[in-house]
Amino acid sequence: MKILFDQGTPVPLRLALSGHDVATAAELGWSRLSNGELIAAAETSGFECMITTDQNLKYQQNLTQRKVAIVVLLSASWPRIRAHCETVLAAVESTPAGGYREVPIGQASR
């Protein structure tokens, strides 16, 4: 699966998504695109899923008629996300094209 990381998505998460083709908005030179432009660029470039930490995305964008699956991490903290990599992977692999899913991220294990 071709996956795009939005600006706030911690890059180390890429390691938990082995077997998938992961690129970041920064790597593609898309850092300055607005959310709507970024989603459109992702779809045009064949991305199947976009992972973001922007919890306001569903309020800022009309997500109907979109082709890319959107997975929203409810934390931008890598230590917290690291403890939930399997949950993130499951969400990525189960969110259908054009779907939207929020992934709750609890406190990191001690």
pLDDT in the model for residue 62: 64
Is 24:43 a contact under the CB 8 Å cutoff?
A: no
**Coil vs helix vs strand at 103:** strand
Listing DSSP states for 44-101 in one string gives HTT--EEEE--TTHHHHS--TT--SEEEEES---HHHHHTTHHHHHHHHHHSPTT-EE
Domain boundaries, the chain: 2-103
The pTM of the full predicted model, rounded to 2 decimals, is 0.90
What is the chain's mean pLDDT, rounded? 90
- Label residue 19 left, alpha or beta by phi (over 0 means left) and psi (-120 to 50 means alpha): left
Share of the chain above pLDDT 90, in %: 75
Kindly state the tokens that stand for 30. 């898309």
For the chain, give the number of residues: 110
Of the pLDDT bands very low, low, confident and very high (cuts 50, 70, 90), residue 22 is very high
pLDDT, tens only, 53-95: 998 877 777 667 789 999 999 999 999 999 999 999 999 999 9
pLDDT in the model for residue 107: 52
